[in-house]
């Protein structure tokens, strides 16, 4: 490729010291530069559930390849958009605050999307303490139902728990209609629901047919091989579009040791419950050979089912032990499930999971401000039929991506403080500024954000896996009715919440009297990651229908100080000079200092700045 100006990559070394004082520098990413990973997005027919579906895939498969990042080191990931007629971004789910500006992957918020036949180089730098389970996915339309993959951040030093081996399992949904068909229905007038998921997938396989009669592996049970008497870390990733999944392993208990990238104290349970966007790690000790002999079997079923949907969907995987003369794998599915999974979901793990002893971060004992957000549907519903569009609104605000002329972060760089939401106007308007439809927060504020569920216009309640970009939050729990801060503070006494990025707003009844608020989820967030961040429901259908909020943490100077002009110019236009293609090498700002942590202490060389980035 050619760089389309007279500047060369060697000559271009503009460097400045920022406020924090990380160095920013321009680089031409030409043939002399190599990314750590390459992801190439295409759209094609793939086999899912032994059927053909036209899907967006990364590196030709769904799920895409597993990416391994290191704590304290910068990873560059080049993403090619080879889809003919669709934009693309990739979001590094759970690591928003560890990405360079314009690298969060949120179109019309933190960056312009990648145009067709272009590529973008994402810069991600996990901090010391970020080791854990994450995933990456498209943040455009319904693409992430198939355009996703596991992302593992490896420990710099000794991990909280040690294992002989590990297994990564990514759960997903399958719809036998295309992304475009689903989006058209959801955005149409009158509104038409997408329908229910056809099948659940585990690492791309649905387990709806037996090994002996599956037409191909995509509908057969995933076979997971383990050795006896061995310690495993099993990483579960909730990549489903809509399904809240509950699962269990026949004759095995499960011990949770990580949630959303945070190590936890061990918590033993007989089943796992995982929503879209969530991740959990299990400490799993396999059976001894003597136990297998007593059980008289070497294969055990993994059963997974959805919850809180009108259609029941389920599937199977197999845990198979590597033992001499272990016998053949079962060729047909069980006539009845070998385990009974609970129907009730709303109290699982609530006020139970606590941070691992190695996590020293202090939980703020009170908030400086509370923002309560009521969520309900907006549309005309007559004779049990929608006669208009149907949208989700948050305190009266509906996210409408097609009405946003340019990304909010770009707007701040071009307009300055006038593009930042007015704090006082927002306080007078249920938390958001009506001029730019953004929720503002000041640096050093401690916010309690309370999500509450309302049942307009149908009378029905729904569930919502609520996800925050930017820094993780302390999860304050959930409950029925409306939030009572005094009552909940009593429940929190003696309990330290885990910092999470995706937790559930449950429903406690399927329907009720119209305009009833029933069900809440509360978070506590310390505002120290300046930038533009989304907070939204992670059900893809709900996101398309407007269930997203945008938050501005800091004023224009604090946000733009991360990258002052001229280092952002190539990011301010759709297809700007920071985006490359076959004829143009991109001009890219390197945000994080090129340092590696001292392996002996797992601390960065040179110091630690207030924004938790490594400095020279």
Extract the runs of DSSP E, i.e. beta strands, from 205-260. Answer: 222-226, 231-238, 244-249, 254-259
Structural contact between residues 128 and 71, judged by C-beta atoms closer than 8 angstroms:
yes
Give me the pLDDT at residue 607, please: 34
Query: Domains along the chain?
Result: 1-157+565-616 (2.60.40.420), 160-342+352-359 (2.60.40.420), 369-554 (2.60.40.420)
The 10 Å Cβ neighbour count of residue 47 is 15
String of b and e for 197-220 (b: at least 16 CB within 10 Å)? bbbbbbbbbbbbbbbeebeeebbb
Low-confidence spans in the chain with pLDDT less than 70? 1-24, 603-616
Please give the model's pTM, rounded to 2 decimal places.
0.94
Structural contact between residues 18 and 564, judged by C-beta atoms closer than 8 angstroms:
yes
Give me the pLDDT at residue 327, please: 83
Q: Report CA 331 to chain centroid distance, whole Å.
A: 35
Give the tokens for residue 51. Answer: 């059927």
Q: Three-state SS for 437?
A: coil
Nearest Cα residue to 273 out of 511, 60, 582, 504 = 504
User: Which residue's structure tokens are 């001499």?
Assistant: 324
Cα–Cα distance between 264 and 33 in angstroms, integer? Answer: 39
Give me the pLDDT at residue 350, please: 98
Give me the pLDDT at residue 541, please: 98
No. of helices (H) and no. of strands (E), the chain: 7, 38
pLDDT over 70, % of the chain: 94
The 10 Å Cβ neighbour count of residue 231 is 14
Residue 131 burial class via C-beta count within 10 angstroms: exposed 0-12, middle 13-18, buried 19 and up: buried
Evaluate the omega torsion of the peptide bond into residue 190 and state whether it is cis, within 30 degrees of 0: yes
68 φ, ψ (degrees, to nearest 5): -115, 120
What is the tens place of the pLDDT at every residue in 505-551?
999 999 999 999 999 999 999 999 999 999 999 999 999 999 999 99
Give me the pLDDT at residue 296, please: 94
Nearest Cα residue to 437 out of 393, 466, 389, 399 = 399
Residue 64 burial class via C-beta count within 10 angstroms: exposed 0-12, middle 13-18, buried 19 and up: buried
Question: Length of the chain, please?
Answer: 616
Cα–Cα distance between 1 and 361 in angstroms, integer? Answer: 47
Q: Which residues pair with 166 in a beta bridge?
A: 233
Structural contact between residues 270 and 253, judged by C-beta atoms closer than 8 angstroms:
yes
Give me the pLDDT at residue 604, please: 59
Cα–Cα distance between 225 and 319 in angstroms, integer? Answer: 6
What is the tens place of the pLDDT at every residue in 377-391?
999 999 989 999 999
Q: Find the radius of gyration of the CA atoms of the chain.
A: 24
Give me the pLDDT at residue 562, please: 86
Cα–Cα distance between 468 and 505 in angstroms, integer? Answer: 13
Extract the runs of DSSP E, i.e. beta strands, from 455-516. Answer: 464-468, 473-479, 499-500, 502-505
Give me the pLDDT at residue 8, please: 37
């Amino acid at each position: 490729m050619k760089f389309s100006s007279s500047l060369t990559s060697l000559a271009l070394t503009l460097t400045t010291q920022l406020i924090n004082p990380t160095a920013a520098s321009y680089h031409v990413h030409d043939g002399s530069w190599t990314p750590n990973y390459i992801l190439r997005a295409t759209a094609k027919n793939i086999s899912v559930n032994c059927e053909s579906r036209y899907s967006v895939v990364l590196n030709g498969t769904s799920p895409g390849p597993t990416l391994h990042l290191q704590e304290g080191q910068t990873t560059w990931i080049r993403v090619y958009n080879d889809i003919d007629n669709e934009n693309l971004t990739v979001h590094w789910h759970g690591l928003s605050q560890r990405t360079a500006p314009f690298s969060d992957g949120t179109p019309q918020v933190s960056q312009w999307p990648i145009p067709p036949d272009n590529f973008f180089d994402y810069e991600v730098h996990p901090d010391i303490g970020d080791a854990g389970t994450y995933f990456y996915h498209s943040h455009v339309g319904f693409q992430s139902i198939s355009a996703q993959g596991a992302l593992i951040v490896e420990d710099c030093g000794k991990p909280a728990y040690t294992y002989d081996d590990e297994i990564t399992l990514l759960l997903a949904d399958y719809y036998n209609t295309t992304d475009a068909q689903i989006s058209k229905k959801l955005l149409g007038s009158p509104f038409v629901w997408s329908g229910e998921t056809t099948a659940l997938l585990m690492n791309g396989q649905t387990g709806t047919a037996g090994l002996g009669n599956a037409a191909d592996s995509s509908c057969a049970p995933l076979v997971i091989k383990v050795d006896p008497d061995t310690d495993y870390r099993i990483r579960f990733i909730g990549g489903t579009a809509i399904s809240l999944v509950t699962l269990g392993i026949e004759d095995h208990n499960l011990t949770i040791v990580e949630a959303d990238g945070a190590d936890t104290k061990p918590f033993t349970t007989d089943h796992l419950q995982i929503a879209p966007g969530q991740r959990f790690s299990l400490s799993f000790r396999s059976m001894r050979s003597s136990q297998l002999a007593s059980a008289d079997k070497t294969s055990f079923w993994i059963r997974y089912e959805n919850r809180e949907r009108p259609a029941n969907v389920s599937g199977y995987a197999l845990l198979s032990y590597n033992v001499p003369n272990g016998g053949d794998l079962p060729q047909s599915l069980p006539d009845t499930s070998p385990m009974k999974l609970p129907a009730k979901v709303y109290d699982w793990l609530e006020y139970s999971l606590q941070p691992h002893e190695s996590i020293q971060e202090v939980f703020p004992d009170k908030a400086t401000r509370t923002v309560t957000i009521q969520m309900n549907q907006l549309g005309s519903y007559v004779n049990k039929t929608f006669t208009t569009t149907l949208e989700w609104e948050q305190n009266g605000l509906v996210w409408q991506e097609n009405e946003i002329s340019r990304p909010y972060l770009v707007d701040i760089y071009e307009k300055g403080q006038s593009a930042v939401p007015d704090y006082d106007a927002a306080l007078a308007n249920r938390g958001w500024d009506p001029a730019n439809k953004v929720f503002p927060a000041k640096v050093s504020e401690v916010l309690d954000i309370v999500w509450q569920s309302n049942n307009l216009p149908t009378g029905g309640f729904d569930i919502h896996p609520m996800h925050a970009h930017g820094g993780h939050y302390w999860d304050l729990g959930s409950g029925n009715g409306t939030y009572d801060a005094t009552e909940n503070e009593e429940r929190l006494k003696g309990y330290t919440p885990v910092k999470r990025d995706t937790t559930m707003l449950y429903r406690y009844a399927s329907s009720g009297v119209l305009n009833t608020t029933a069900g809440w989820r509360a978070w506590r967030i310390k505002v120290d990651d300046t930038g533009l961040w989304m907070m939204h429901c992670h059900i893809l259908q709900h996101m398309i229908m407007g269930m997203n909020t945008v938050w501005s943490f800091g004023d224009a100077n604090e946000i733009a100080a991360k990258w002052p002009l001229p280092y952002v110019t190539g990011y301010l236009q759709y297809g700007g000079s920071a985006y490359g293609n076959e004829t143009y090498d991109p001009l890219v700002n390197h945000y994080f200092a090129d340092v590696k942590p001292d392996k002996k202490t797992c601390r960065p060389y040179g110091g630690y700045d207030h924004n938790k980035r490594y400095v020279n």
